[in-house]
Each structure stands twice: as C-alpha cells, then as structure tokens.
Amino acid sequence: MRHIDLHKLADEARFNRFHRLVLFWCALIIICDGYDLAVAGIALPSIMKEMGVSATNAGFMVSSALFGMMFGAIFLGTVADKIGRRRAIVICVALFSIFTAAAGLMREPISFSAMRFLAGLGIGGVMPNVVAQMTEYSPRRIRSTMVTLMFSGYAVGGMLAALLGKGLIEAYGWSSVFLAAGLPVLLIPAILKSMPESMPFLIRSNKVDELRQIASRLDPDYRPAPGDHFALPREDKVVSAPISRLFQEGRGFSTVMFWIAFFMCLFMVYALSSWLTKLMAGAGYSLGSALTFVLVLNFGAMVGAVGGGWLADRFHIKYVLVGMYVLAAISITLLGFRVSTELLFLLVGLAGASTIGTQIVTYAYVGQFYPMAVRATGIGWASGVGRSGAILAPIVIGSLVGLALPLQLNFMAIAVPAVIAAIAVAMINHGRSIGSQKKGSVEEHRDVSPASPRSALAME
C-alpha cells in the first residue's frame, strides 16, 4: 500500500496548469468581491445626495455591509471546513452578487442597509475561503506570492468600480453600478465544475477518485494505483472542534495578535475605501479627481500586495509586514498636509500599498500559520474579529467629517492603528506557525520507505 502525503505533494509541486486554474478562479472571485465592496464608497456622495442622509448616517449605511462581513467571515469561514470549501465559496458568490444588485433597487436608507448586510455575509465569507484554497494548493516556495497575487484582484475590483463609477453614475445614476454587481452569479456552474475541493474535506468524505485526480494534477509523475492511501500530516486532519485548535500548541497569544492586527488594518482599509472620495472632494477636488484618487489607491494596493508577497517569499514575512505597517503610518499621516499634486498621488499610492496591500500579505501570513484542517477557520476568525474595526471605521471617520475638523486630524486618526498593528505583528510567535513545525510532524506521520520514488510517497 502506498501512503501519499498530499500536503507534501502540494508543497513540492512545480507550478503548472492546475495552479493557474486555481489562481484564475480565486482571483476572479476576489475581483468580483472587491468590486462589490468598493462600489458603496464610489457611489456614497450620490447616495447621500439622493437619500438626503448626513455623513454620520451614511457611515452607518456603509457599515451595514461590514457588519455582515464580520458574521460571514466567522460563520462561512468555519462552516467551510465542515461542508467543503467549494460549496461555501458558491454560497458566498450567490449572496454578494444577488444582494448587492438588490441594494441598487432600494430608495431609502433602511432597506439599502439591509441588502448591504446580506451582501456583506458573502463578501466577508468568501475571503477566508479563497485564501485557504490558494494557500493549500500553492507550492511552498512561491506560496506568499501566489496568495498576494490572487488577492491583488481585490484592488483590481476596486479600480473597476472606480472606472465604471465615473461613467455609469453620470449616465444612469448610482443604482447602475450596484446592478452590474449581479453578474458574477452566472459564474456559479463553472465554479462548481472547475474548482477543486479542499483536500481535508475530500479525505474525510472518502472521495478517492477526486483525490487521485488532484494528486495527478499536482504531480504529473503520479500514477494512480488501487492500493493508494491518501493522508495528511497529523496536524492537518479535520477535528470535531476546530475553533479550539486556534489556541492550542502555543498558538493562543499569536492568534490574539493576529486579531488585533486585522482589526487595526481593516480599520484603515475601510476608512480610506469609504471616505477618501468624500475627504478629497471636501479638500477642494472635483468628483472626477476624487475618484482618480481611488484608482491610485487601488493601483498602489495591487503593487503593495504583489511586492509584499514577493518580499515575504524571500525574507521573513513577519518583518516584511512590520515594515509595511510603519510605511502606512507615515504615508497616511502625510495625506493630511498640503503637498504638490504629484507627491499627493504618490502618497495615495503608498497608502494603498501599505493598507490594502498589507492586509493581503497579512491574510497570507495567517494562511501559513494555521494547520490545513483549520486554515479557513483561522483566517475566518481573524477576518471576522477584524471586521469590527472595519465596521467602526466609516462611523468614526464619518463622525469626524461631520465635526468639520482639519483634514490633518482625519488622516491622523486613520494612521494611528498602523502603529498598533506593527507592534501586534512584531509580537507574533512565528515559531508556533505550522511551517516551523511541519518537518517534525510530517516525519512522525509518514512511514518513509527507501524505495519511495518521491518524498511524498511511502510504500507499505
């Protein structure tokens, strides 16, 4: 009987067509997710004008989606480890597509907020699942790059919302950019057919044929045999109470530090996503110019995500993140001061790179920190707890905008969380990450035979 260690097979795989397929689907879903999330901030000035709401009330309207994202990240991140990741992703796509489009049909704040809450369940739930999916199937040597490249689709979605927003809102009104968000529901049949299921779920469900197919796509040299036994290292097996695993084996303190980092970073991300357009318009820029800042912010995010992932694969991901958070504190603070237009665009790009981009790299770090069996759970809880920062951000900054405080104070309020996040990440015990423990655990799990043609295969 051959014992096949699927985790090691994935770790040591060469990048191939299968990896491109997983990257394509995860990135496309995140692009749609990023569009759905950014669209409210893009349309906010027009919505406020039509519905006659104050800045503070508008903050609560934006936060309704973020409140939904908190529940979606925790519930749909955790449930994916039980019902299968592919099914959970499809549920999320249906939720954020249908209810974002429905929000475009609403004409008063309460019903609009209700639709955005339901859409938020899908927006928040899909993030931990696609991060876990990309982490699970990426070769170890390029894992951070793959996850951040995939997650840069979030910034592409934000840029798409800004580009479409400039034309659609002027021509057809703010509802049009929301109705366009319903199109991703058409992707669901293709996702069910093409996207692979998570390996722990397939092993628990004893779906041997799918496991053989995945193994052969990860390693073209693999040839299925009747006696193949598929297994994962001990720490990657699905357990009955995965949430408790986040605090076991010395990971409890680091889990809390991740939650703090997520809270602070998501506060910055959603403060900028929700209020950058309004703050820049209040500083004297036209709506078109203010939307251009959103494009630059998201372009910077894409550069920061990919660049941060590249650095994380070559240096210590923990210290790369600390440096990125420090850059966020500096660049956001400087946004509140009068500078030349060229320097202002540079600062906005750096702010995008060091907030949205940094959040994406932080997702990659969490994905690598926890065992495969509870990876979506770990990412989901970090993201879900962090959503409370995202919920507070539009309300807090909206209240500051309502007070008509100097522009510098608004941006300084957004920058302070970066310092706290840098401290939290610096205190994470990297020695408790699954990558640091993997070697010993795998060797304990496998009966490696000298006759094994690959280190991921053992003969018995």
Residue 442 has pLDDT above 50, yes or no: no
pLDDT score, position 323: 92
DSSP, collapsed to helix, strand or coil, labels residue 230 as strand
3: which strand partners? 229, 458
CA nearest 166: which of 332, 38, 355?
Answer: 38
Place of tokens 């995945």: 214
115-167 pLDDT, tens digit per residue, is 989 998 988 888 878 888 888 888 888 887 888 788 778 778 877 887 787 77
- pLDDT band per the 50, 70, 90 thresholds, residue 445: very low
457-459 and 2-5 as β-strands: parallel, antiparallel, unpaired? antiparallel
Selected residue with higher pLDDT from 85 and 60: 85
Q: Measuring CA to CA, how many Å separate 59 from each of 113, 197, 275, 390?
A: 11, 38, 9, 11
What does CATH list as the number for 2-197+227-440? 1.20.1250.20
Among the listed ranges 163-172, 223-232, 369-378, which one has the minimum average pLDDT value?
223-232
457-459 and 228-231 as β-strands: parallel, antiparallel, unpaired? unpaired
94-123 pLDDT, tens digit per residue, is 998 999 889 888 888 888 889 989 998 988
Q: How many CB atoms lie within 10 A of CB 447?
A: 9
Residue 449 has pLDDT above 70, yes or no: no
- Lookup: tokens for 67: 């409140």
Residue 452 has pLDDT above 50, yes or no: no
Rounded to 5 degrees, what are φ and ψ at 323? Answer: -65, -40
pLDDT score, position 226: 67
The domain ranges of the chain are 2-197+227-440
416-431 pLDDT, tens digit per residue, is 999 999 999 988 886 6
Residue 287 has pLDDT above 70, yes or no: no
Mean pLDDT of 209-214: 81
Do the beta carbons of residue 305 and residue 149 sit within 8 Å?
yes
Return d(Cα 124, Cα 175) in angstroms, integer: 22
